[in-house]
Structure 1
Amino acid sequence: MKFTYNKSEKLKSEKLITKLFTEGKSVSAYPLRLVFLKTTFQDAVSLKTGVSVPKRNFKKAVDRIRIKRLMREAYRLNKHLVSNNISTQYAFMILYVGKEKPTFIEVEAATKKMFDKFLVKTKNNNS
Structure 2
Amino acid sequence: MSFTFPKKEKLKSKKLIERLFAEGKSVSNYPVKLIYLKTVHEDGSKIKTGVTASKRNFKSAVKRNRIKRLMRECYRLNKPLIFNNIEGDYAFMFLYLGKDMPTYEQLETCFKLIIKKLLTKENHENVD
TMscore range, shorter length: over 0.9
Name the aligned partner's letter for residue 79 of structure 1.
Answer: K
Q: Give the total of aligned pairs.
A: 127
Give the deviation of 1:50 after TM superposition: 0.2
The answer for the alignment partner of 1:95 in structure 2 is 95
Name the aligned partner's letter for residue 30 of structure 1.
Answer: Y
The answer for the alignment partner of 1:81 in structure 2 is 81
4+ residue segments displaced more than 2 Å: none
Give the deviation of 1:8 after TM superposition: 0.3
Give the deviation of 1:43 after TM superposition: 1.8
Root-mean-square deviation over aligned CA pairs = 0.6
- Cα distance in 2 for residues equivalent to 1:67 and 1:87: 29
Name the aligned partner's letter for residue 17 of structure 2.
Answer: I
Unaligned runs of 5+ in 2: none
- Cα distance in 1 for residues equivalent to 2:95 and 2:72: 11
Give the deviation of 1:125 after TM superposition: 0.9
- Cα distance in 1 for residues equivalent to 2:103 and 2:80: 22
Q: Identity, % of aligned pairs?
A: 57
Residues 35-73 of structure 1: per-residue CA shift (max 9 Å, x gap):
000000012211100000000000001000000000000
- Cα distance in 2 for residues equivalent to 1:57 and 1:126: 36
Residues 71-123 of structure 1: per-residue CA shift (max 9 Å, x gap):
00000000110111112000000000111100000011100110000001101
Name the aligned partner's letter for residue 27 of structure 1.
Answer: V
Unaligned runs of 5+ in 1: none
1:31 maps onto 2:12 in alignment: no
The answer for the alignment partner of 1:50 in structure 2 is 50
Q: TM-score, normalised by structure 1?
A: 0.98
Q: TM-score, normalised by structure 2?
A: 0.98
